[in-house]
Structure 1
Amino acid sequence: MTGLRTNRDYRLLWTGQVVSEAGFSTTMIAFPLVVLAITGSGVQSGLVVGAVAIAQLVAGLPAGALADRWPRKRIMLGCEAVQAFAAAVLVLALWWDVAGVGLLVVVAVVMGVCRALFEPAEEASLPLLVPAGQVASAVSLNAARTSAGQLSGTALGGFLFALGRFVPFVLDVVTHLFAFASLLFVRLPARSVTVRPPAHLGREIAEGLRWVWRQPRLRITTFCVVSLNLFFSAYYLVIIVLADGRGMPSGEIGVMAAMLGGGGVLGALAAPVLYRKISPYLLITGVFWALTVLAPLAIFVRSGYVMGLLFAAIAFLPPAANTVIGTYQLLNTPDELRGRLGGVLGVTGGLAAALGPALGGWLVEVLPGSAAVLACAGAIAVVTVATTLNRTLRGLPATSEPLEAETTGK
């Protein structure tokens, strides 16, 4: 990662976004607290928080197409500016005590749409900001950035809310303005392709979907990412319910969650080293096998701190697989399609992350805690065997090679 430390433009982008992530995570903690303070309704709290994810999913595919159509730096700048403005409006409304659930939903939707636009624009810009040999390090550092921002924002949210309902959103305004200022100084190289005149947005989205579907290696790697997201979000809820049912103190459960985040940060930092030393096939399948072995151990654990160590070990592994997958996909997708690739991955990953808690909740309703854990472990074991036997994944190269040769149906 030495090269990235000397890469002024990537450093500016990364620094701005780690601060922005902290502000966003603070807001996500503050949203339900504000709604509860105003209405006392848990249902309406869920509506506001859910509005962010729903807006991000609905806007995901169009946002990916727009990231290929519009200048990507302008998209990122616009997203930061709009989020700062939306948060500032909410600060004033809370200060004047005129904020209602409707305004909170609108602000949540704005934030979700902005994230849907920003993420594919940023991901598609990485191969222009850093040399091909450093893309893996950039992908892993971005994952560490997200985890670090979530950890710090989650810790800050409740504390700032105690100072005043509007205070978390003041921080959100400041963080987005800081990210905007950092982006202003990022020198994003010109794209190597000529941006085509705008066509019908639906046709552009369909073109991106066809591209992903026609690439066997993109299909299998996307399946791997979706499986990891679905497993983690379901398993996390199952373990929390299991811990609560065994009478673990809430403080220990909080430590468990923090150790999960810490494991993710450490895993993201270690991912480039693993990427360089282990072949893509062995690294991806090795992560799945390790999860298959570790996941059932939760049924034997009675201490929240030991469970936290297990969480940290489990969270340490996926960033390496995600780094391999993200690097391969970015380097082997034409620049004019990278935004749409990001949109597809954002929607599929987001759906998996949204369905996972519902699946986990259903499992703990119909099965005893230990049986629900084993059901999650069994599901990941099935995926592990499927990926291990997959010939396309086995042929994933250690170095990039053009995907056009794989394309079928043209």
Structure 2
Amino acid sequence: MTVPLRRNRDYTLLWVGQACAEVGFSASLIAFPLLVLAVTGSAVASGVVLAADAVAQFVVGLPGGALADRWDRRRVMLACEGVQAAALASLVAVLLLDAVVLPHLVLVAVVLGACRALFEPAEDASIAAIVPDDQLATAIALNSARSSIGQLAGTALGGVLFAIARWVPFLLDLITHVIAFTALLFLRLPPRRVERAPLRGLGREVRDGIRWVARHPEIRVTTLCAVVLNLFFSAFYLIVIVLADQRGVPAGEIGIMAAMLGAGGLLGALIAPALHRALRPHIAIAAVFWALTALAPLTLLVPGGYLMGAVFAAMALFAPTANTTITTHQLLLTPDEMRGRLSGVMNVAVGAAAAIGPALGGVLAETLTARHAVVVCVIGMAVVTLFVTVNPTLRRYPGRAHQREEVQL
């Protein structure tokens, strides 16, 4: 008899530990650029620190997925949590001593970004090992809810704690990583064969992961579509903030507007398991594309930050269902020894789009009016939405019955 997910000891340990870590991460994420500005007075320096984090994630992403398949995944996660806690402890210490310097901030950002790039493939691959196939979709949806909760709570705490003292949000992040590390100490993963191959073979293993993604049409097509959608939505998000500022929306109201995106994602994650069961896979995937394309133009029409935030919340509602449908199928299709590399490829592809998107949004906002820049992004989203709607591979996207057959084979 299958144990209910809420009584799955190992999944609960992983979920609770990482929920705490998500809160701390979001708190320090908003505090980091504020800290750099306070220390250096330079917006360029703030950008360099944030870029260092993003570059580290990008560089480590693909080999990190291969290492998650090669090494003991629990030890990888433990090492990442421990190293992040040590990096944050060093940051808290220099802040208390008033001895912080820019190179140290860059180094901490690199360490944190690299550890996340290593941790995520190990966690993604582990979920399929500790959760039964018929509960995997619910587990993935709950992980989306976890991220939304962390973003909402951490973002709210980060600014408040930074106002108390510069080191406080980073102390919170340190404490939450210690909690996550402790939870992982009690995590039990099914035994698996661990490779002892030399690191010089890592490049070949990375290429094997990329070929695995490229060889499966539904993974290849959904990845391409997700990259394009993330690119234009990330640009759109920045442009709408610029548009709100031009309209004279107060900064506090803009903050609430941005937070409502996370609130919509949280609500969407809660209803994702039911929608995943009720909707055909193609409809579940296409719904988020149509929602973004149809709702984005409303930001040009509605007045005030609160109504624009409501549009943001509605746009985020169907994303967890699409993510649940896609990720569940990919994990069930992919053999265990390849799941880390699958996650690494996905994270790098989608993360690159999310990183380039704001730069695209900045260029559009500088060269066009904000309204025209929104229109450009809507056109980009509309093109990929039409492609998703008519693409034969996505229209034949495998359902749950087909996924069970693939697992049995």
TM bracket (short chain): over 0.9
Aligned equivalents of 1:332, 1:165: Cα separation in 2: 46
Aligned equivalent of 1:402: 406
Aligned equivalent of 1:14: 15
3-state SS of paired residue (1:90): helix
Query: Is 1:82 matched with 2:83?
Result: yes
Alignment of 1:178-189 (within 5 A): 178-189=179-190
Alignment of 1:34-183 (within 5 A): 34-183=35-184
CA shift in 2, pair 1:282/1:196, >3 Å: same
Aligned equivalent of 1:205: 206
Q: What's the TM-score, normalizing by structure 2?
A: 0.95
Aligned equivalents of 1:391, 1:306: Cα separation in 2: 37
> How many residues align structurally?
403
Aligned equivalent of 1:408: none
3-state SS of paired residue (1:402): helix
Aligned equivalent of 2:223: 222
Contact 2:229–2:384 under 8 Å retained in 1: no
Task: State the shift of 1:231 in Å.
Answer: 2.8
Aligned equivalents of 2:166, 2:252: Cα separation in 1: 24
Range with bigger deviation, 31-40 or 272-281 = 31-40
Task: Map Cα deviations across residues 265-312 of structure 1 (whole Å, 9 max, x no partner).
Answer: 111111111000001011111221222211111111112111111110
3-state SS of paired residue (2:4): helix
Contact 1:35–1:45 under 8 Å retained in 2: yes
Contact 1:226–1:352 under 8 Å retained in 2: yes
The runs of 5 or more residues in structure 1 that have no matched partner are 406-410
Aligned equivalent of 2:362: 361
Task: State the shift of 1:42 in Å.
Answer: 1.1
Contact 2:92–2:170 under 8 Å retained in 1: yes
Q: What's the TM-score, normalizing by structure 1?
A: 0.95
Alignment of 1:252-401 (within 5 A): 252-399=253-400, 400=403, 401=405
Range with bigger deviation, 98-107 or 218-227 = 218-227
Task: State the shift of 1:57 in Å.
Answer: 0.7
CA shift in 2, pair 1:310/1:275, >3 Å: same
Range with bigger deviation, 134-143 or 225-234 = 225-234
Letter in 2 for 1:377: V
Range with bigger deviation, 194-203 or 159-168 = 194-203
Task: State the shift of 1:368 in Å.
Answer: 1.8
Range with bigger deviation, 154-163 or 101-110 = 154-163
The runs of 5 or more residues in structure 2 that have no matched partner are none
Contact 2:71–2:195 under 8 Å retained in 1: no
Aligned equivalents of 2:407, 2:392: Cα separation in 1: 16
Contact 1:195–1:336 under 8 Å retained in 2: no
Contact 1:228–1:318 under 8 Å retained in 2: no
Aligned equivalents of 1:235, 1:206: Cα separation in 2: 33
Between the two proteins, what is the percent identity of the paired residues?
59
Aligned equivalents of 1:9, 1:32: Cα separation in 2: 35
Aligned equivalents of 1:298, 1:37: Cα separation in 2: 33
Task: State the shift of 1:402 in Å.
Answer: 3.2
Task: Map Cα deviations across residues 7-60 of structure 1 (whole Å, 9 max, x no partner).
Answer: 111111000001001111111122122222221111111111221111011100
Range with bigger deviation, 111-120 or 45-54 = 45-54
Contact 2:233–2:377 under 8 Å retained in 1: no
Task: State the shift of 1:314 in Å.
Answer: 0.3
Contact 1:264–1:319 under 8 Å retained in 2: yes
Task: State the shift of 1:404 in Å.
Answer: 12
